[in-house]
Structure 1
Amino acid sequence: MQFNNVLRYTLLFLFAVQQLYWLIGYFKAEKLKPRTKKDTLVNIIERTLIKAVYFVIFIQLLGVNILQFSNNNFLVLSGFILSIIGIIISISARKEIAANWTCSDNYQIKKNHSLVTSGIYRYIRHPIYLGMGISFLGVELLVQSYLIFFAPLGTLMIFYWAKREETLLTKYFKKDYLKYKRKTKMFLPFII
């Protein structure tokens, strides 16, 4: 059980660092490239849902077991490794996209927006979503919660956000984005 707690607290720390990085990046991006549109009710609902997911993850990592199904060290270690991989992917992608990043709940083209096709974006179009999905899946494996069965719903939400972004990016960047789409995959290099 102590091994499990060490991994939980390590992930809790890494998620906190990731969220701090996101928050700092958010304010920098807003300063360099301010929003161009107001929030809608849908944006507010999506943001609330995202915050609720993070809240559940944080309390689970603090040791609150929600619908726990077993105590298997293999699942704990597998979940930890998946979460680390997901955090690395999402932070590296966030760093690459820099001031062009906007929150998924209020995605928009900003002033002087540019199409990022370097780094991990050379291979996949939505690495932040991929990283977040992998890390959330990893947490649910680590804490061994039946909440893992919500993963398909989370995948649908990620796919919805990605498609919404692609529609907007195609409208703004036109042929450049269509060319970029032909060269890359949505989430997994060479697969999907």
Structure 2
Amino acid sequence: MKFVKKLYIMTDFIRFFIPSYFLLFLLIAFLGISLKVARDIGKNPSVFPKDDSAYAFIGRYFKRTLLMLFIYTILIAWIPDQIRQSFTINFLDVPGLRYVGITLMILALIWTITAQLQMKDSWRIGIDHEMKTTLVTRGLFKFSRNPIFLGMTVSLLGFLLLFPTLIAFLFLLVASILMQIQIRLEEEYLLQQHGEIYEGYKKRVRRMLSLY
């Protein structure tokens, strides 16, 4: 009976934690930080183009992935049992991994917001070809050239461990592919803008995480 009660408590917690978490992530890490930077620099920091280029294609699918993720979290809050039973990855459906998932998600949110604040006016959603930004190498950027993308990846990994379904795995996979493409586009731009300084930074710090 105690096990069943704990299971129901965890199910109810997951049902409300997941949509609340991603809503908070969206409001703070995207909307809140973007509004702050827009006020400081006098322009919208979301600079994905709206043409038919490959780069614009990446931007559109970023937005669509976020929208689908938001819809999915609403479904989890609404019909969690049906969603889990239909698409569960059984070998990941372990109670202990749920706590790992929650921990990773919380740490990822804190990590991401910290990295964004450390970027200050250099924070952009996309590549700003009109305004040269400062190369940030301090704080979390000493350990990762892309700490924000790392935080987003870890948050989706935590989501998969907390709610181990095929769809959660697909979100992790698709988002990771889009982020890796975006990272390489940004690297080309930063190399053009900062030259040898960025080249030296690349040699010191790994793309996702340096542990030394």
TM above 0.5, yes or no, is: yes
* Percentage identity across paired residues of the two chains: 19
Aligned-pair Cα RMSD in Å? 2.5
1:39 has 2:39 as partner:
no
Aligned CA distance change for structure 1 residues 61 and 122 (closer, same or farther; 3 Å): farther
Contact 2:62 2:175 in 1 (8 A): no
The structural deviation recorded for 1:188 is 1.4
Match of 1:10 in 2: 17
The structural deviation recorded for 1:53 is 2.8
Distance 1:145 1:111 in 2: 42
Match of 1:184 in 2: 205
Match of 1:101 in 2: 123
Higher mean Cα deviation, 114-123 or 46-55?
Answer: 46-55
Structure 2 gaps, min length 5: 1-7
- Which of 1 and 2 has higher RCO (CA within 8 Å, sep 6+)? 1
Distance 1:69 1:117 in 2: 39
Higher mean Cα deviation, 4-13 or 17-26?
Answer: 4-13
1:158 has 2:179 as partner:
yes
The structural deviation recorded for 1:166 is 0.8
Distance 2:48 2:112 in 1: 25
Higher mean Cα deviation, 18-27 or 49-58?
Answer: 49-58
- Structure 2-normalised TM-score? 0.76
Match of 2:64 in 1: 48
The structural deviation recorded for 1:73 is 1.3
| Greater Rg over alpha carbons, structure | 2
**What amino acid is the match of 2:181?**
Y
Distance 1:4 1:113 in 2: 45
The structural deviation recorded for 1:149 is 3.8
The structural deviation recorded for 1:37 is 7.3
Q: Deviations over 1:136-156 (max 9, x none)?
A: 111122112122442344322
- Structure 1-normalised TM-score? 0.83
Aligned CA distance change for structure 1 residues 38 and 153 (closer, same or farther; 3 Å): closer
Structure 1 gaps, min length 5: none
